[in-house]
Amino acid sequence: MTKQIVFSVTLLITLGIFAYTVNRLIGLFKLTRPAFPIKDFGKRFGIMMGVAFGQKKIFRRPVIGFFHALVFWGFCVILIGSIEMVIDGVTGTDKVLKCLGPVYDFIMASGDIFAFLIIISIIVFLSRRLFFHIKRFEGVEMIKKTHIDAIIALTLILLLMVSLLAMNIGYVKHNTLLNEEISGLYPVSNILAGLIGGSSADSYWVLNQISWWTHILTIFFFANYLPYSKHFHVFMSVPNVFLSRLDPLGKLPNMDNITREVKLMLNPDTAFAAQPADATVERFGVKDAEDASWKNYFDSLSCTQCGRCTSVCPANITGKKLSPRKVMMNLRERMKEKGPLMVKNGRDFSDNRSLLRDYISEEEIWACTTCNACAKECPININHPTFIVDMRRYLVMEEASAPGELKAVFNNIENNGAPWQYSAEDRLLWTKDLEINVY
Amino acid sequence: METRKIEVPVMADLFSRGEKPEYLFWVGCAGAFDDRYKKVVRAFAKILSYLNVSYAVLGKEETCTGDPARRAGNEMLFQMQALQVIETFKMYEVTKIITICPHCFNTFKNEYPDLGGNYEVTNYLQFLNRYIDDGKLKIDKKSLKNISVTYHDPCYLGRANDIYDEPREILKKLTGNFVEMHRNRSFALCCGAGGGQMFKEAEKGDKEVFIERTEDALKTEAKVIATACPFCMTMITDGLKYKNKEEDIKNLDIAELIAQSLEL
């Protein structure tokens, strides 16, 4: 009974902190702009199954992708065990899901095996970060804090898995020594249990209980650590994939407010028509965090800074300042800085800083070739190029600021209908003296 | 062997005679004004003529799709161009468009529908591949035999629109020695010209993107680098010049390779 009370109180505190975080995030999301309507649930489900659960895009890097897939699939299976632990903890039952019979055996066996595979994967991940020189984990945006964040998250996962195996070993050993029935199958723990001696059933019970508490408390801590960490992707990535932009990568979203203006301009009949009553003057493009769409912000929260985007960016590869990962990280940081102050002081709040310029320089924005390599590579379908173009839209349409050569291109298109300074009269010159061989 | 003069049909002329072509062939600004790329458009026009395709060009009535303006952030200019083009298309009752330039292709196909312009948009590689599949266009390894050819995926055909197979199917019919660069298909590296970069100096870095990509191509030791985009062609050709390889290695468009193989 004491265990139940202690557990329930801890659970309530965990949920309370989590609810606070979620509520805070909802407040920040309310500051953002609309993106696209969420339709096509069938298609979205398919993408979620392929990209998230199938880890399709992670496998674009097959070797390290395989290790990540093991961790992901392991988490999915182990999650069922964690739910059981919560039920057990609250109600005082012991392995409540064992009523599932063979299914339970399967879940427990997979969890046990996956815990072992995840330990191996995490050791691989940790060594990559600690002992190897991986270019993808470097860059101006990868400051010491981000590396420490990664190491903490990986260590917590390692602790989760070690405690899970220790819990299973304690359980298996204890019940074997007392000749009690074992619910579920634990292939890895059985082998490991065989390697250690000791005949005191009680000490194995203690091992089981300590591990049980370590495991569940680590989960509770992890759950509340994640939203403030780069590893928030544990929660956000699957929903982010489900909420993917469904358009072809080449398509830029249309600015409907511009369409209204252009149509008014082109049609003299409507030029004097009354503006719709709800028309508000909205900034064109993105200057600051609140100009981003909810999807941009969702992307930034889901980003785990893996750097696959930056590693394929032609600008970054050739030494330019642009890093798509940095753009996403900057949006998240800027929202963290300005968002809460806007929630407190109202939308008009200004701290005389902005995402563009104080976080992301114009030099970065203009280096993008919109090649979409970053978006193609992102394992969780983050779309960087549309956001980068949105910042260009702000610069060009609100500040009339662009590299000189591009301003010339705008002039040429406006005056002679081509990016170069040629006359439309010459558009058929290529057809001159065109001959074909006839056999 | 005789030669026959080709008169490229112009939409306004056809309409004044009460005729309506099946396709609008959108030449694009590079096709009209870039001296190197004019040769590609000429090659494609020869193929269209060889295939007896019913088509016309807009000629002097063609204008920029607005794509470079949009990607450089000038949405206002893009939409003004787009609405103007859509009006022209409406006037000539255009329903089917063939493009060579992947940027024009992407804009027509994916972005014009938002502004009320809905057309059946085909890129020339899809178009030619369809003729090959139907047996109406027969190409063989006559001209290239076993000359090694590599292909540079334009971003706006590849990643932007998932067109990876058509160019490869065509090239494999033209040469017995098709080689891939190590970064190919959806992994292909951009030539460096997209998103308005074509028209401006690159930001400061330690290398030009087109050199990085040309090096990818040179590593394959292919004798021909096939491209399918006017911007890519400018970039790769520049890359070959930079590397002093323009004598040994040719950068040709797939349309030129086909026209060559048909000895048009």
Tokens at A279, concatenated: 């028309």
Q: How far is CA B230 from CA A398, A432, B71, in A?
A: 31, 20, 17
* CATH architecture of the domain covering A256-421: Orthogonal Bundle (1.10)
CA neighbor of B27 nearest in space, from B45, B6, B53: B45
State the nearest Cα–Cα gap between A293 and chain B, in angstroms.
17
First to last CA, chain A: 97
> Does A407 lie at the interface with B, CB-CB under 8 angstroms?
no
- Give the largest CA-CA distance in chain B: 58
In the prediction, which pLDDT does B141 show? 78
Which residues from A are below 8 Å from B187, CB to CB?
60, 312
Question: DSSP class of residue B57?
Answer: B
B137-261 classified as CATH 3.40.50: yes
> Does A281 lie at the interface with B, CB-CB under 8 angstroms?
no
Helix pair B165-174, B254-261: axis angle to 10 deg = 30
Q: What is the pLDDT along chain A (439 residues), one digit of tens a residue?
A: 888 999 999 999 999 999 999 999 999 999 999 999 999 999 999 999 999 999 999 999 999 999 999 999 999 999 999 999 999 999 999 999 999 999 999 999 999 999 999 999 999 999 999 999 889 999 999 999 999 999 999 999 999 999 999 999 999 999 999 999 999 999 999 999 988 877 789 999 999 999 999 999 999 999 999 999 999 999 999 999 999 999 999 999 999 999 998 888 877 776 666 665 555 678 999 999 999 999 999 999 999 999 999 999 999 999 999 999 999 999 999 999 999 999 999 999 999 999 999 999 999 999 999 999 999 999 999 999 999 999 999 999 999 999 999 999 999 999 999 999 999 999 999 999 999 988 7
Write out the residue limits of the CATH 3.40.50.1860 domain(s) in chain B: 11-129
> Does A264 lie at the interface with B, CB-CB under 8 angstroms?
no
> B11-129, what's its fold?
Rossmann fold (3.40.50)
pLDDT, mean over chain A: 94
Which residues from A are below 8 Å from B194, CB to CB?
369-371
Q: Among partner residues B27, B64, B73, which is closest to A395 by beta-carbon distance?
A: B73
Residue A184, classified by CB atoms within 10 Å of its CB into exposed (0-12), middle (13-18) or buried (19+), is: buried
State the nearest Cα–Cα gap between B249 and chain A, in angstroms.
24
Which residues from B are below 8 Å from A393, CB to CB?
73, 75
In the prediction, which pLDDT does A277 show? 55
In the prediction, which pLDDT does A345 show? 96
Asked whether the beta carbons of residue B8 and residue A434 sit closer than 8 angstroms, the reply is yes
- String of b and e for B249-259 (b: at least 16 CB within 10 Å)? bbbbbbbbbbb
Helix (H) / strand (E) element for B121: namely strand B120-123
Asked whether the beta carbons of residue B59 and residue A372 sit closer than 8 angstroms, the reply is no
Q: Is B263 left (phi over 0), alpha (psi -120 to 50) or beta?
A: left
A153-212 residues touching B, CB cutoff 8 A: none
Q: Among partner residues B4, B62, B72, which is closest to A438 by beta-carbon distance?
A: B4
Asked whether the beta carbons of residue A409 and residue B199 sit closer than 8 angstroms, the reply is yes
Which residues from A are below 8 Å from B71, CB to CB?
252, 370, 389, 392
Query: Could you read off the pLDDT of B217-226 as tens digits, one per residue?
Result: 999 999 999 9
3-state class (DSSP) for residue B83: helix
